[in-house]
Amino acid sequence: MAIPLSWWLTVAAALFAIGLYGVLSRRNAIGVLLGIELMLNAANINLVAFWRFITPQALTGQVFAIFVIGIAAAEAAAGLAIIISAYRRRRTVVVDELDTMRW
């Protein structure tokens, strides 16, 4: 392997930071969701990199990456359904304006 582990971790950290910024700074709920996807991917890169460099004979890293992808799919489906439902009722997806629990 030409690329040492720390490079991979650096890239993953950068991607995580970018995703975090997206989650914190977006006004649009879908934009927040995009940021979350980036963070999940950063975590996945870490899992696979650790698997490749530290325990290449065990399967744990890959299996957990698959679980993360599965959870991401569930999260996207449920999250987007909530956003669409909220949009139908309130005509907005700006998170600052979705501030009442019930009306």
Chain residues 33-52 in contact with another protein, contact rule CB under 8 A: 33-35, 37-38, 41, 44-45, 48-49, 51-52
Interface residue with another protein among 2, 99, 101, 103 (CB under 8 A) is 2
Give the closest residue to 11 by CA, choosing from 54, 45, 44, 61. Answer: 45
Q: How far is the CB of 46 from another protein (least distance, A)?
A: 10
Q: How far is the CB of 32 from another protein (least distance, A)?
A: 10
The per-residue b/e assignment along 27-52, b for 16 or more CB within 10 angstroms, e otherwise, is eebeebbebbebbbbbbbbbbbbbbe
Contact 33, 79 (CB under 8 A): yes
- Residue 1 touching another protein (CB under 8 A): yes
Contact 86, 93 (CB under 8 A): yes
Interface residue with another protein among 18, 43, 99, 101 (CB under 8 A) is 18
Integer Cα distance of 18 and 27 in angstroms? 16
Interface residue with another protein among 88, 99, 100, 102 (CB under 8 A) is 88
Q: How far is the CB of 68 from another protein (least distance, A)?
A: 10
